[in-house]
Amino acid sequence: MSIFAGKNLNRRHTQNAYKKVSKDEWNNKKELESRYQTDLQQSYRYILDISGIAVALLTDVKRPSYTIESEEFTLLNHKVYYPKGHVKWEPITFTVKEVFSRDILNSVLGVLMKKLTNTAYDSPNNINVSSNLKDLSKYDLIQSLGPVKIKMLTPDGDVYEEWLLREPFIESVTPTELTYTNDSLLGTAVKVRYDWAELVYKGV
């Protein structure tokens, strides 16, 4: 075999190797694109887990978010920013769609009111000085609400990611307005304040 034939053989071998690598890379790329296309997270695949409220009634859920507080300084003709060392977690909000039934003991709005009055608050006409007075303590508000979890679901219904709110309590409850001009579903907007949130990845 001549030296030129050897070089041609090596060149063909190298070209075939490149083709094989390129084909493998292409297949891997197509497989990855296919997985992304089928596993993209969609906004309706979630469960908001709150004691006493059916998960199907909970919608328009805002996920936890945070802000790092910073301070502005002027150096010559420049604005620079330095963190203050504080992380502020923003409250979450959600809406509870209101339903009623003669087969249940309370309405949706009634359940939310019970979460306030069971342990944390008495209206002026229900104050009993002979028993323990409710003083809207943080502990009582946390206990009345219970754990709050936001679970993100895969297309198969498995939990792959979970937000856990730490020290949560209801900050505001705002029922929607009543009107004769439309027949939309009633709902109650709820704002929940918490100290911080933990994100746990469950895998798929």
Which residues of the chain fall short of a pLDDT of 50?
3-4, 7, 9
Q: What is the pLDDT of residues 129-164, one digit of tens each?
A: 666 677 788 998 999 899 999 999 988 889 999 999
Same domain, 143 and 77: yes
What's the confidence (pLDDT) of residue 116?
84
The CATH code of the domain that includes 196 is: 2.30.110
Same domain, 34 and 61: no
What's the confidence (pLDDT) of residue 50?
92
- Give the residue numbers spanning the domain of 135: 46-201
What global pTM score does this model have?
0.73
Q: How many domains does the chain have?
A: 2
Same domain, 56 and 2: no
Nearest-angstrom CA–CA distance, 39 and 67 = 29
**Which helix (H) or strand (E) element contains residue 84?**
strand 78-90
Nearest to 63 by CA among 39, 93, 41: 93
Nearest-angstrom CA–CA distance, 175 and 96 = 9
What's the confidence (pLDDT) of residue 32?
62
Nearest-angstrom CA–CA distance, 159 and 86 = 31
What's the confidence (pLDDT) of residue 169?
94
What's the confidence (pLDDT) of residue 37?
56
What's the confidence (pLDDT) of residue 4?
44
Same domain, 165 and 139: yes
The alpha-carbon radius of gyration of the chain (Å, integer) is 29
Same domain, 111 and 62: yes
Same domain, 137 and 114: yes
What's the confidence (pLDDT) of residue 113?
85
**Is the separation of the CB atoms in 176 and 186 below 8 Å?**
yes
Nearest to 159 by CA among 124, 199, 119, 105: 199
Same domain, 51 and 14: no
What's the confidence (pLDDT) of residue 62?
95
Adjacency order of strands within the sheet including 196-201: 46-50, 148-153, 159-166, 196-201
What's the confidence (pLDDT) of residue 10?
55
Same domain, 62 and 79: yes
Same domain, 29 and 91: no
Same domain, 34 and 60: no
Alpha helices in the chain (DSSP H): 3-39, 108-117, 138-145
Same domain, 136 and 188: yes
Same domain, 34 and 51: no
